[in-house]
């Protein structure tokens, strides 16, 4: 009898030890909630299981830049929607300012822990913004493909974003927003990443999907700073730059802060998770086609003028506005309190309206914007008076004058490639309208804003001597001249270039430090 009792006790012990921790930590409920909790002793977040998803597949949410797991709760019903569609839910917190390499290592470790927690061999991933870069980097370069069945990346800058180029330019030095994360998202750095990621066999082991939005608010300077259509943070072309993923949604009504909100799609979005074959939606919502050649080349353009620096006691910046414009928007971004006004050449004063940055915006701070329709030509003044000091170094600003209905300048150099060190780079610049007396000043700078090459003179026929050292470099170009109506114009163009062969750079090598 004692032997039978001991044997039964042993079976019970084995049974409870074998139960995944998910069931030891939480009791199944009948309704799906939109909140998560951190299990005891774990470094990730989960939602309570329900009676309908207790044995369902697992989806892991991966946040983007300057964000955390809360981006999937609150106004985003991603936790509830996944549960309703039969998925068990987990979410991770990665370094909000970490590089794709460090975050990929951390992500793989947490995916292993989540798989063990739920007692599964593979999970699925839904990622937002930079979280999509961290996800693919983990899959391809950290062997996390063995843990992931499929992923959906919403608004992820697989080709980089112009905003990261701006954040790491000398114009933004006083905003202190060039960190490992923004450096990873520069257009040049992602050109390099694509060169060592696309075509890797690891991509074929995991089914990948991408979705994008293209809505940008008028007061957001990103609408002009980003070349082509965008969602306020990421260029539309950049989301499609992941050559291993299929497109499933293209929405002109969604901003970057909304594109990952699952309630804006419906249950069909979850039907892609865990799939090993492509799918096409009959209602046209899901495109599910491979990226086309638009992602193979990209040319930076500008219809703006740029200023930047420390706030000091007073900001006084002169901005040239040519004639015949439909409108001009002055947007000053600051990481400290400031009152901004704009004065026209004839002395009319315009007061700004303030708009706080959303979570996940590459350029964090408050934007003070003034939009003037049919502006008079001449020299405008932007005045900024600090009201309080905040942040490292006492506060800084970046100022954009965005011209509507005027000329656009474009750098006729494909930035979506890695250039050979030590070679001359022709600077061919196109203008959308006829101009005269046009001149250009171009600088090539390191992450520390050290100038390594420069050129100036007439608009075309200039070259930049690329450095011999591999790296990612900022290109800063100013174009001035006379517009077709005889009034002066000015444009600023900021982008970046990758220099060096992949073999020289290494996955986490020299380019990360330049």
Of 29, 81, 80, 86, the C-alpha closest to 53 is 86
**Radius of gyration for the alpha carbons in the chain, expressed in angstroms and rounded:** 25
Pairing relation of β-strands 207-213 and 148-154? Answer: parallel
pTM listed for this prediction: 0.86
What are the structure tokens assigned to 173, written together?
A: 């030095």
Give the Cα separation of 186 and 497 in Å (integer).
Answer: 9
Alpha carbon of 318 to those of 14, 343, 383: distances in Å? 76, 10, 9
Give the per-residue pLDDT at 275.
60
- Helix (H) or strand (E) run with residue 335 in it: none
Give the Cα separation of 375 and 387 in Å (integer).
Answer: 28
Q: Domains of the chain: which residue ranges?
A: 20-160+192-217+230-295, 305-402
What are the structure tokens assigned to 5, written together?
A: 């009792």
Give the Cα separation of 287 and 283 in Å (integer).
Answer: 10
Of 210, 204, 214, the C-alpha closest to 133 is 210
What are the structure tokens assigned to 71, written together?
A: 């981006």
- Helix (H) or strand (E) run with residue 482 in it: strand 471-482
Using the Cα atoms of residue 496, residue 497, residue 499 and residue 505 in order, give the sign of their dihedral: positive
What's the fold here for domain 20-160+192-217+230-295? Answer: Rossmann fold (3.40.50)
Exposed e or buried b for every residue in 174-206, given b needs 16+ CB within 10 A?
bbebbbbbbbbbbbbbbbbbbbbbbeeebbeeb
Give the per-residue pLDDT at 223.
77
CATH annotation of 305-402: 2.60.120.380
Within 168-256, strands assigned E span: 207-213, 245-251
Per-residue pLDDT of the chain (514 residues; tens, 9 = 90+): 545 545 444 444 444 444 455 544 555 667 899 999 999 999 999 999 898 898 999 999 999 999 999 999 989 999 999 999 999 999 999 999 999 999 999 999 999 999 999 999 999 999 999 999 999 999 999 999 999 999 999 999 999 999 999 999 999 888 888 999 999 999 999 989 998 999 999 999 999 999 999 998 877 777 777 878 899 999 999 999 998 999 999 999 999 999 999 999 999 999 999 864 444 343 344 444 444 334 445 788 899 999 999 988 889 999 999 999 999 999 999 988 899 999 999 999 999 999 887 777 787 888 999 999 999 999 999 999 998 655 455 689 999 999 999 999 999 887 778 889 999 988 889 999 999 999 999 999 999 889 999 999 998 888 889 999 999 999 999 999 999 999 999 999 999 999 986 544 444 444 443 3
Beta bridge mates, 401: 305, 330
Give the Cα separation of 238 and 154 in Å (integer).
Answer: 12
**DSSP string over 27-63:** --BSS--S--BPPTT-SSEE---BTTTTTS-EEEEE-
Of 322, 334, 324, the C-alpha closest to 363 is 334
Work out the end-to-end distance of the chain between its first and last CA atoms, rounded to an integer number of angstroms. Answer: 74
What are the structure tokens assigned to 207, written together?
A: 């089914």
Q: Mutual orientation of helices 187-197 and 130-141 as an angle, nearest 10°?
A: 30
Degrees, nearest 5: CA angle 467-473-478: 105
Beta bridge mates, 62: 92, 127
């Amino acid at each position: 009898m004692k032997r039978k009792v001991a044997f039964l006790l042993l079976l019970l012990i084995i049974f409870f030890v074998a139960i995944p921790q998910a069931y030891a930590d939480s009791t199944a409920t009948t309704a799906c909630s939109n909140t998560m909790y951190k299990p005891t002793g774990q470094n990730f977040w989960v939602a309570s299981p329900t009676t309908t998803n207790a044995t369902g597949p697992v989806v892991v949410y991966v946040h983007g830049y300057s964000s955390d797991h809360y981006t999937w709760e609150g106004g985003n019903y991603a936790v509830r929607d996944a549960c309703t569609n039969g998925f068990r839910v987990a979410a991770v917190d990665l370094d909000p300012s970490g590089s794709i390499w460090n975050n990929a290592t951390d992500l793989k470790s947490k995916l292993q822990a989540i798989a063990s927690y739920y007692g599964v061999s593979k999970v699925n991933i839904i990622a937002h913004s930079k979280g999509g870069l961290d996800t693919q980097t983990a899959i391809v370069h950290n062997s996390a493909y063995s843990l992931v069945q499929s992923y959906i990346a919403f608004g992820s800058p697989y080709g980089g974003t112009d905003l990261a180029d701006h954040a790491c330019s000398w114009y933004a030095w006083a905003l202190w927003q060039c960190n490992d994360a923004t450096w990873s998202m520069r257009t040049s750095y992602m050109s390099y990443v694509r060169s060592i990621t696309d075509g890797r066999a690891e991509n074929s082991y995991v089914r990948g999907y991408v979705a994008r939005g293209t809505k940008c608010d008028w007061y957001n300077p990103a609408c002009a700073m980003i070349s082509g259509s965008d969602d306020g943070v990421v260029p539309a072309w950049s989301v499609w730059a992941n050559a291993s993923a299929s497109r499933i949604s293209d929405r002109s009504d969604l901003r970057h802060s909304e594109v990952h909100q699952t309630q804006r799609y419906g249950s069909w979005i979850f039907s892609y998770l865990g799939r090993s074959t492509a799918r096409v939606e009959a209602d046209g919502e899901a495109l599910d086609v491979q990226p086309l050649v638009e992602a193979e080349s990209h040319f930076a353009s500008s219809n703006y003028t740029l200023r930047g620096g420390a706030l000091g006691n007073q900001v006084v910046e002169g901005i040239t506005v040519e004639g015949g414009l439909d409108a001009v928007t002055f947007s000053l971004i600051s990481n400290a309190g400031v009152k901004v006004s704009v004065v026209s050449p004839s002395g009319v004063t315009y007061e700004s309206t303030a708009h706080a940055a959303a979570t996940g915006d590459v350029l964090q701070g408050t934007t003070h914007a003034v939009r003037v329709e049919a502006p008079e030509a001449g020299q405008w003044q932007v005045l900024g008076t600090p009201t309080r000091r905040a942040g490292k170094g006492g506060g800084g600003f970046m100022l954009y004058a965005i011209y509507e209905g005027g000329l656009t300048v474009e750098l006729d150099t494909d930035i979506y490639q890695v250039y050979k060190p030590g070679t001359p780079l022709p600077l061919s610049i196109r203008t959308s309208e006829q101009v005269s007396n046009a001149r250009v000043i171009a600088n090539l700078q390191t992450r520390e804003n050290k100038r390594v090459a420069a050129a100036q003179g007439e608009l075309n026929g200039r070259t930049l001597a690329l450095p011999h050292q591999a790296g990612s470099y900022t290109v800063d170009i100013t174009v001035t001249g006379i517009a077709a109506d005889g009034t002066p114009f000015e444009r600023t163009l900021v982008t970046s270039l990758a220099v060096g062969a992949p073999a020289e750079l290494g996955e986490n090598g020299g380019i990360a430090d330049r």
